[in-house]
């Protein structure tokens, strides 16, 4: 380095040192401002306060840092909660996408693995997610560990690198064999599902699980999904009953604010409704019904998406999905061949409905079933504009009831209280004309199909493009108004009298004669003309009156007239009834 360069570097270094205290102060202020901006951004995204009122993005196989880098986009897409893949240590460090199941072969109850990241990276993710109003829930594998291999002789033997304090304790294991009768509740809870089955009734083992869960909570976790929950016994089971669920869930820090649900796949000896006494549960049968409803391996029929088929468990206890990581990734390809249109239509159905918590499964990106490595983000369907529109509708409708209507087998109208509606059209272009409880007005479709729908006199009308959804809510109600031409015919008057319109809306005086609209135009006397600007869709009662300067009034005889403001029918004529 020459002398001139050294002198320049010295000047720069001196300046940096001189200004360092100011720089630190400035950075601190900037960080504070940035945090405030993040909190404001979260509020702008309209995310609800609790997981139960929002929608979940299953960031399947995403690493902690991958999720963290996309938090602004996830919040903007309307996802309240992110579900991670299992965060426990597992038996191999493979990053191959097709070996995703390795994450479900844990070796301990510690946080961190090669695929998702470290304990510290998990903490950083939770801390930053909180700035965006996003909750993080963790997939937990408490039923089993990784095995020693796929050969039948070692399939139910713990892997060599399972935590020795677990592996070498014979009290921590059930019988080393697998289920042969899925209708036998004893086998379902006491034998393996292709992996070594942990004796979850053992309280020393429970203590390890509790410590792991509370560690995750201390780092910022907001809840848990329990993998293979139906294979962990209930306190009410006729054989092998235990206090696992009451003791473990009852020992969680801040447990009233944790969102807990269990993978209780329906079928066989599932005890589905009994699990709902302890946690939320997965409505797997409903997922299959929705897939059929949108035409996957079935004729399109939205009526199939009505019944949750969830053993009469309340909808508020259900987690719903169009597909799960199992239906997509397992060898049976249960949902793998669904196309993106079918997924979007199914999502519009489940995420528009009330009470349940919908989970959006993020498929791997690229071509092929497992095109990406573990730790990377999946495809971008989760931020498709129609998915986002439905997410935000779901969030805005928290606490509203639902009413489902059908127009044939291919159109479903999901109405939420009197505040909003999602219309799912699986068929061709269609004219909508259905009863509704929505407030009168013109509603602009927030999904990509566009268009407007008019609500008047308890009916909704409009046109919807084939194969699209319409997302309508009160904040999309248009303030569009039109000039309505009223003509009052044959209204003869005496000197000093004029003709006015009066009605039960502010524009016509709210029945206050001194504030009636007018007087009318007498260019065609004895006909009187009025041009009134009124909001489209408004239904009101009215009459014509004759009034003089002293507010002496002659009312029309007979019943009040009624009219609904319409851009296509904005000329009204009638005779004054003496």
Positions marked catalytic: 227, 263
Whole-Å CA distances, 564 to 169, 285, 481, 561? 77, 44, 12, 11
Nearest to 202 by CA among 177, 165, 151: 165
Which residues fall within 8 angstroms of residue 45, CB to CB, at 6 or more apart?
75, 76, 78, 132, 133
Q: How far apart are CA 469 and CA 351, in angstroms?
A: 12
Query: Number of C-alpha atoms within 13 angstroms, CB side, residue 355?
Result: 13
Give the pair of three-digit tokens for residue 508. Answer: 């016509």
With b for 16 or more beta-carbon neighbours within 10 A and e for fewer, the 440-460 pattern comes to: bbbbbbbbebeebbbbbeeeb
Q: How far apart are CA 129 and CA 334, in angstroms?
A: 33
With b for 16 or more beta-carbon neighbours within 10 A and e for fewer, the 161-191 pattern comes to: bbbeebbeeeebbbeeeebeeeeebebbbbb
Give the pair of three-digit tokens for residue 235. Answer: 């306190």
Whole-Å CA distances, 556 to 242, 493, 532, 567? 79, 13, 19, 27
Helix, coil or strand: residue 108:
strand
Q: How far apart are CA 229 and CA 236, in angstroms?
A: 15
Rounded (10°) CA dihedral 181, 296, 445, 567: -130
Q: How far apart are CA 518 and CA 505, in angstroms?
A: 15
Q: How far apart are CA 44 and CA 194, in angstroms?
A: 47
Give the bridge partners for 422, in sequence order.
414, 471
Q: How far apart are CA 552 and CA 328, in angstroms?
A: 77
User: Cβ–Cβ contacts within 10 Å for residue 13, how many?
Assistant: 10
Query: Number of C-alpha atoms within 13 angstroms, CB side, residue 237?
Result: 26
What is the β-pairing status of strands 477-478 and 459-464?
unpaired
């Amino acid at each position: 380095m020459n002398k001139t360069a050294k002198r320049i570097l010295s000047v720069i270094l001196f300046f940096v040192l001189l200004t360092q205290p100011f720089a630190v102060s400035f950075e601190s202020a900037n960080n504070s401002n940035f945090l405030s901006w993040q909190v404001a951004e979260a509020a702008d995204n309209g995310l609800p306060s609790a997981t139960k009122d929002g929608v979940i993005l299953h960031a399947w196989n995403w690493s902690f840092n991958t999720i963290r880098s996309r938090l602004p986009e996830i919040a903007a897409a309307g996802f309240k909660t992110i579900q991670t893949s299992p965060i426990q240590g597992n038996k191999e460090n493979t990053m191959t996408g097709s070996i995703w199941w390795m994450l479900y072969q844990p070796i301990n109850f510690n946080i961190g693995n090669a695929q998702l990241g470290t304990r510290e990276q998990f903490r950083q993710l939770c801390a930053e997610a909180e700035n965006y109003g996003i909750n993080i829930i963790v997939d937990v594998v408490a039923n089993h560990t990784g095995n020693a291999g796929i050969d039948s002789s070692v399939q139910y033997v713990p892997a060599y690198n399972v935590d020795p304090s677990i592996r070498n304790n014979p009290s921590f294991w059930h019988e080393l064999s697998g289920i042969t009768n899925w209708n036998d509740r004893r086998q379902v809870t006491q034998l393996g599902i292709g992996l070594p089955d942990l004796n979850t009734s053992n309280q020393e083992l429970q203590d390890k699980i509790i410590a792991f869960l509370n560690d995750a909570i201390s780092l910022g976790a907001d809840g848990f999904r329990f993998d293979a929950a139906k294979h962990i016994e209930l306190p009410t089971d006729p054989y092998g009953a235990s206090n696992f669920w009451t003791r473990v869930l009852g020992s969680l820090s801040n447990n009233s604010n944790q969102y807990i649900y269990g993978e209780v796949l329906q079928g066989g000896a599932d005890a589905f409704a009994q699990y709902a006494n302890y946690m939320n549960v997965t409505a797997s049968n409903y997922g299959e019904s929705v897939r059929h409803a949108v035409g996957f391996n079935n004729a399109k029929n939205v009526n199939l998406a009505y019944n949750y088929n969830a053993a009469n468990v309340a909808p508020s206890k259900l987690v719903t999905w169009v597909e799960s990581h199992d239906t997509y990734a397992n060898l049976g390809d249960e949902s793998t061949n669904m196309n993106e249109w079918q997924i979007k239509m199914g999502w519009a159905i489940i995420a528009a409905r009330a009470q349940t918590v919908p989970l959006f499964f993020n498929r791997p990106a690229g071509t092929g079933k497992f095109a990406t490595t573990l730790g990377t983000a999946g495809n971008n369907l989760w931020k498709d504009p129609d998915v986002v529109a439905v997410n935000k509708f779901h969030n805005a409708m928290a606490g509203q009831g639902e009413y489902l209507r059908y127009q044939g087998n291919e159109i479903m109208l999901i109405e939420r209280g009197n505040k909003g509606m999602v219309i799912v059209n699986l068929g061709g272009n269609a004219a909508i004309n259905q009863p509704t409880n929505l407030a009168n007005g013109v509603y602009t479709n927030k999904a990509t199909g566009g268009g407007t729908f008019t609500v008047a006199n308890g009916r909704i009308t409009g046109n919807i493009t084939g194969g699209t959804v319409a997302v309508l809510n009160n904040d999309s109600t248009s303030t569009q108004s039109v000039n309505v031409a009223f003509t009052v015919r044959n209204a003869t008057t005496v000197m000093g009298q004029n003709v006015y319109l009066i009605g039960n809306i502010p524009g016509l005086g709210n029945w206050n004669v001194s504030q009636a609209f007018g007087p009318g135009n007498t260019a065609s006397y004895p006909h009187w003309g009025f041009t009134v600007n009124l909001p489209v869709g408004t239904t009101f009662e009215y009459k014509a009156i004759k009034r003089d300067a002293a507010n002496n009034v002659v009312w029309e005889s007979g019943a009040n007239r009624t009219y609904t403001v319409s851009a296509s029918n904005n000329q009204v004529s009638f005779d004054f009834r003496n």
